[in-house]
Chain A
Amino acid sequence: MFRRLMRPISPSAKREERIFYLFILPWLIGLVLFNVGPVFGMLGLSFTDWRISLDNLQFVGLENYRTLFADPIFRISVGNTLYIVVGRVVFGTSFALLLAILLNQKVPGIPFFRAVYYLPTVTAGVAVALVWIWIFNPRLGILNYTLKQLGIQGPPWIFSKDWVKPSLILMSMFSVGPNMIILLAGLQGVPKELYESAEIDGAGNWAKFRNVTLPMLSPVLFFVIIISVVSSFQNFTEIRVMTEGGPGESSNVMIWYLWENAFIFLQLGVAAAVAWIMFVILMALTGIQFRLGRRWVYYEGEAR
């Protein structure tokens, strides 16, 4: 690789290279200033007693990390985060796949339904989080009213320790729009001939789904899962607007714990350590995904 870099190149290639770096320059500056710099700056700061001002920082070694691991609330927040991540990935992805399969049927009105299913995604924000507080209202909300009509006594949703996390996962299933569209495009990319030859072999619907659709879709599914894991860590808006980590600590997730430490308790060194632990968990999860992916993701043209 090094030798290739050192190889002399023609003047026109050199010019092209200069233009390349000129064009990516804004992104490159942003990368250093807003991503790489912060990530490593934060690593350094996580070893200090940083509270409010950056002057007179004391190096405290692993003290912040020790404090965190000794804090039961931090451990709860890690557990809550993983609970929500797993729930959102498993239910969210399955649901997105179900919607994509429905939208892939040849029936009239599909563009309309596609728009309707995408709608909650575009409005995911404070306004709609406020609406959901009202929907989840145990006594007066539309959700429990509907359940009551079906003869089911509805739970107290976000107002109870046991139900708040499932409630948040349920709510997140309304904004699977992008995943749904990506999976839909994946479904439409499966060559028709494969289904035809499966039919000739006498395969039923399930066999076709299991042996043709899933393997052909697996790279897309893999992409969707990876992206879902990352986005599930970033659910600050719902938590801030709907639960503030409660009731008790039952919806205290890592990003909320980080926020509270940084901007309410002003323990910035601790918050930096939280962010780093978050990165490490995320990297580990992504690493595991890639490991597992080798077993179930099928790439066309790849020798197995």
Chain B
Amino acid sequence: MTTVKPKKTVSWRKSVKGRRAIGIAITFALLVPLGIAFVLPFIVMVSTALKPLNQVFAFPPRLIPETLQWQNFPDGWYGYGYVDFTTCTWNSLKITLNNIIGNLVSCTLAAYAFARLKARGKNFFFAIVLATMLLPNEALVVPQYVLFSRFGWLDTHLPLMVPPWFGWPFFIFLLRQFFLTIPEELIDAAKIDGAGHARILMQIFIPLSKPALATLAIFAFIGNWNNFFGPLLYLRTPNVQTLPVCLVQYQGAYGNTEWHLMMAVATIAVIPVLLIFIFGQRYFVEGIATSGVKG
């Protein structure tokens, strides 16, 4: 892949400059094809979403459709009477926003306590936070289902919207790691000024932790927007469903026939997370990197 000609290169290749050039060439030879592979699923999705049905099954597959059939988007969205995508989207949005706020509030409090407050039993409870990070939540659905049915919450959004107000171990851990990096002197100075913990948290920690909080908000957005297991379990009536369940019902109804319409609705469903990711990318990557490792 390099442009280096073998004959003259012996000395050039060993020179610092030459080795660096070869290194860059090899890196790009891997970076670029992998990058193409990673975006390919999206290209397939969007291009199928824009094709007329007869081109969907054409062989060889074309990545760029001959004609762009924008009509697929409204046709898919309103195409199937039983599934009301508009309602599903509003439901998804409502649940997602509530859960972001709930997670941020409850996890900030717990993270501050674990990072900055002294108390007997703290290490014990922090060990539990770490241990519950290893708990496979999907396996807990049976008893949780029973619990929520006892509360009379089935077929409402409550089983999805209430638990986020009670913390999430992974977020508590990440946020605590971040809070530990805030200099002690700032807190001491605030204490001398007579600030209590609530004020220290509100006026020092939260403003200084915007990148970390933004990271968690993005994480929570993605996780809740894509959540499929919970809604599938707790929701029955069409008008309370969320977007992922709608998509699966659509799949159930149209199976392997109306691929162009299915990809059209799938594309619409992905757009919000995509936007969040693109605009929040900077925070996101830094957030995981700074808080994730220093365990």
Alpha-carbon distance A240/B42, docked complex (angstroms): 21
| Interface stretch (choices A18-26, A59-67, A70-78) | A18-26
B136 touching A226 by the CB < 8 A rule? Answer: no
Mask: chain A, 1-33; 1 = CB below 8 Å from B; 0 = not: 000110001000100110111011011111101
CB <8 Å contact, B113 and A19: yes
Nearest-neighbor residue (CB-CB) of A7 within chain B: B120
Which residue from chain B places its CB closest to the CB of A23 in the assembled complex?
B113
Map CB proximity to A onto B31-42 as digits: 1 under 8 Å, 0 otherwise.
100110111111
A186 to chain B, nearest CB (A): 6
Q: How many residues of A sit at the interface, in one of the four size bands?
A: 35 or more
Tell me whether B81 is interfacial, beta carbon within 8 Å: no
Q: In the complex the two chains form, is A275's CB within 8 Å of B146's CB?
A: no
Number of A-B contacts (CB under 8 A): 270
- Whether B165 and A26, one on each chain, are in contact in the complex, defined by CB atoms closer than 8 angstroms, is yes
Query: What 1/0 mask marks residues of chain B from 283 to 295 whose CB sits below 8 Å from any chain A CB?
Result: 0110011101101
Instruction: Give chain A residues whose Cβ lies under 8 Å from the Cβ of B113.
Output: 19-21, 23-24
- The answer to whether B110 and A27 have CB atoms under 8 Å apart is yes
Interface set, chain B 223-261, CB cutoff 8 A to A: 225-226, 228-229, 232-233, 244-245, 247-248, 251, 259
The answer, among A21, A131, A141, A227, for a CB contact under 8 Å with B263, is: A131
Contact at B292–A185, with CB atoms within 8 Å?
Answer: yes
Nearest A residue to B63 via CB reads: A142
Q: Are the CB atoms of B273 and A122 closer together than 8 Å?
A: yes
Which residues of B (18-34) have their CB < 8 Å from a CB of A? 23-24, 27-28, 30-31, 34
Contacts of B132 in A (CB 8 A): 31, 35
A132 on interface, CB distance cutoff 8 Å: yes
Per DSSP, are chain B's interface residues mostly helix, strand or loop, or mixed?
helix
Identify B136's interface contact among A31, A37, A107, A282, CB under 8 A: A282
A97 on interface, CB distance cutoff 8 Å: no
Specify which chain A residues have a CB less than 8 angstroms from the CB of B23 in the assembled complex. Answer: 105
Q: Tell me how many residues of B have a C-beta within 8 Å of chain A.
A: 93
A68 within 8 A of B: no
**A90 partner residues in chain B, CB cutoff 8 A:** none
For this complex, 28 residue pairs linking A to B, each with C-beta atoms less than 8 Å apart, are A4-B120, A27-B167, A29-B166, A38-B143, A54-B146, A107-B27, A114-B285, A115-B281, A118-B277, A122-B222, A122-B274, A123-B273, A126-B244, A126-B266, A130-B263, A131-B42, A134-B44, A142-B44, A142-B61, A145-B59, A174-B41, A181-B285, A181-B288, A255-B138, A258-B139, A263-B233, A272-B142, A278-B139
Residues of A within 8 A of B (CB): 4-5, 9, 13, 16-17, 19-21, 23-24, 26-31, 33-35, 37-39, 41-42, 45, 54, 98-99, 102, 105, 107, 109, 113-120, 122-128, 130-132, 134-135, 139-142, 145, 174, 178, 181-182, 184-186, 188-189, 219-220, 223, 226-227, 230, 233-234, 236-237, 240-241, 255, 258-259, 262-263, 268, 271-272, 275, 278-279, 282, 286
Interface residues of B (CB under 8 A from A): 23-24, 27-28, 30-31, 34-35, 37-42, 44-45, 48, 57, 59-61, 63, 106-107, 109-110, 112-114, 117-122, 125, 128-129, 132-147, 163, 165-167, 172, 197, 222, 225-226, 228-229, 232-233, 244-245, 247-248, 251, 259, 262-263, 266-267, 269-270, 273-274, 276-278, 281, 284-285, 288-290, 292-293, 295
